[in-house]
Amino acid sequence: MYSASSTPARTPSKAVIYKDTSISSLNHASNINIKNSNIFFISRVNFNYEIVRHKNKLFEDEFIDYVNSMKTNLSLKKQQWQSTFSADKGTKSQLIEQVKLAEKKQKDDLAAKEKEKRDISKIQIEISDKKYKKEMIKERVSALKNQIENLKKDIQKRRDVNIAKQQALQVQLSKNEPELKRYADKLAFTMVGLKENVISFSFTYIYEKDLSRPCKFTIHLGEEQHSIYKILECSPPIDHLDEILLQLNTKRDFFMFLKKMRQAFYRYVRNDNN
């Protein structure tokens, strides 16, 4: 933007060119824009030469003043333009820097938003995973509680069964003890319970030279009522042990089994002495 010059321009007088002016005068006049509205041609009129020269001098002075005034105005306008250009250039640089800062801030804001989105997505995934694990834990706890309840019921059933077995065993022992005592007295043996369902039998009065020397065997009675009897240990080793045990498991006659075991020990000792 340019402001008007503070020095008013001088308006030149109208230029007059005569048709029969000399060539040197025309050359001087050719430097003037003939299209200028201030220039016009007239026919030569006889004037006083001094007057014409004086007027021409005035015209030249006015024209020079006009040119100088225009130069001054142009110089001022150039300075104003340069000043304005420098200011605009500084403002432009500031604006460019501000734009760059704004673009950088926008880029940083977008990056921060993207990071926030990723963080939120990650947190949501973690929350979903924790909720899933929590539900799985709840289901697992519920299943374990059910298992515990079932185990409690199963243990209670087993306790009830064991109590019933113990009661039945006590009843059976109360019935068997007199009979077993009679067997022990008659067959001369003792029995010792080593652990549950395992009994050791010891026979005496078999060796003639040492009546207190025992012959032993250990038997497993089984856990159920009709379980198979098993001989775990036998000393001394007698013949036909498998056959005797088979008869016991077939006929379930325990007194006859004890009787045959004593006879087998007796035969073994007699054969060993011979």
Q: Which residues of 6-30 are buried (b: 16+ CB within 10 A; e: fewer)?
A: eeeeeebeebbbbeeeeeeeeeeee
Q: What are phi and psi of 190, to 5 degrees?
A: -125, 155
C-alpha distances out from residue 268 to 107, 208, 213, Å = 106, 13, 14
Gap between the Cα atoms of 195 and 237, Å rounded: 23
Maximum mean pLDDT: which of 13-22, 37-46, 187-196, 257-266? 257-266
Contact in structure between 217 and 233 (CB atoms under 8 Å): yes
Confidence bin at 5 (pLDDT 50/70/90): very low
Contact in structure between 29 and 21 (CB atoms under 8 Å): yes
Q: In the prediction, which pLDDT does 95 show? A: 85
Among 4-8, 10-14, 52-56, 205-209, whose mean pLDDT is lowest?
A: 4-8
236 prior amide bond cis, ω within 30: yes
Residue 244 pLDDT more than 80?
yes
What is the pLDDT averaged over residues 141-145?
90
What is the pLDDT averaged over residues 182-195?
78
Gap between the Cα atoms of 262 and 274, Å rounded: 19
Confidence bin at 173 (pLDDT 50/70/90): low
Gap between the Cα atoms of 1 and 85, Å rounded: 9
The fold of 188-273 is Copper Amine Oxidase; Chain A, domain 1 (3.30.457)
Confidence bin at 172 (pLDDT 50/70/90): low
190, containing H or E segment? strand 189-195
Amino acid at 262: R
Domain residues of the chain, as ranges? 15-86, 188-273
Amino acid at 85: F
